[in-house]
Amino acid sequence: MAPTTPSRIARILLTPALALGFTVGVASAPASAAVWNSCDQWGNTTLNGYTLYNNIWGSGAGSQCVWANSGTNWGVWANHPNTGGIKSYPNSKKVINKSITSLASLTSSYNVTVPSSGAYNTSYDIWDTDYDYEIMLWVNKTGAVGPLGTSQGNLTLGGHTWTVYKGDNGANQVFSFVRTSNSTSGTVDVLPILKWIKDTKGWFGNETIGDVQFGYEITSSSGGLDLTTNNLTVSSS
C-alpha cells in the first residue's frame, strides 16, 4: 500500500482539485444492463443505503468503470498499467456514525468473484469520523501488494485469522488485518476487532466509527480485469 498522503486523502474526500491534469480513458459498461454505471474518475451514487464510488485516486492510472445493480451487488472493470502504486479503490460505503462503546454489533458478509492475475487486494476500509485512524481488513490479495507498517504477529478474531500490521502514512494511523489465506466469501465480526485495538492494544480510544467501505484496492490490471461483488451486507446496532 502506498502511503502517499494527498492520495490517501483524495480517496476519502474524493477531492476533484487533486486530480488536475489526470486523464481517465473510456471503457465499456458491463454487458448486462445495470441500474447505474460510471467511467468518471470520481463517479458516485447512492443505492439502498450504500454509496458507490469509482474512485480512481492514484497516479498513473488507466481506465476503469464501475457498475451496480444495487449498493450490495456491483462490480468494476479496470485496465491499469503494470506499474507500482495503488491506482484506485472502487468501493461501496455504509455510514455507521456510532462510537465503539455504543455499538452492540457491527458485522459484514461478502461474496466476490476476483481474477487470479493482476495486483490488488479485496478489503474493508473502516474510518473514524475525524479520519485519524484507518482500519483495513484484507480478505484476499493477489500479486505484488502489501500493507503499510510493521507486522504485529497473527491474531484470530472476528471469524478469521489475520496478520496484523501497524503503520502511519503521515496523515493518519493505519491498522491492517491481512487474512492469512485468501477468501472470496465469508462473514466478518468487525466489533471485536475494533475493541481489540481500543481495549487490548490501546492504539485508540472510544472513536466514533464513520464509514465502513468495502472494495478493491487496485495496483495493476493490465489488459482489463473484472472484479465483482456478488453480495455485500454491512449491519450495525
**What does pTM read for this prediction?**
0.88
Please report the pLDDT score of residue 32 as a whole number. 54
In percent, the amount of the chain with pLDDT more than 90 equals 86
What ranges in 40-165 are assigned the alpha helix state H?
none
pLDDT band at 130 (very low <50, low <70, confident <90, very high): very high
Q: Is the pLDDT of residue 73 over 60?
A: yes
- Secondary structure E strands in 39-172: 44-47, 50-53, 63-70, 73-79, 91-99, 106-113, 119-128, 133-142, 150-157, 160-168
Element (H, E) at 229: strand 225-236
In percent, the amount of the chain with pLDDT more than 70 equals 86
Q: Is the pLDDT of residue 9 over 60?
A: no
- Domain 5-236 is of which CATH architecture? Sandwich (2.60)
Question: How confident is the model over 191-212, as pLDDT tens digits?
Answer: 999 999 999 999 999 999 999 9
* Averaged pLDDT, 155-171: 97
Q: Where are the domains of the chain?
A: 5-236
26-30, 78-82, 150-154, 173-177: segment of lowest average pLDDT: 26-30
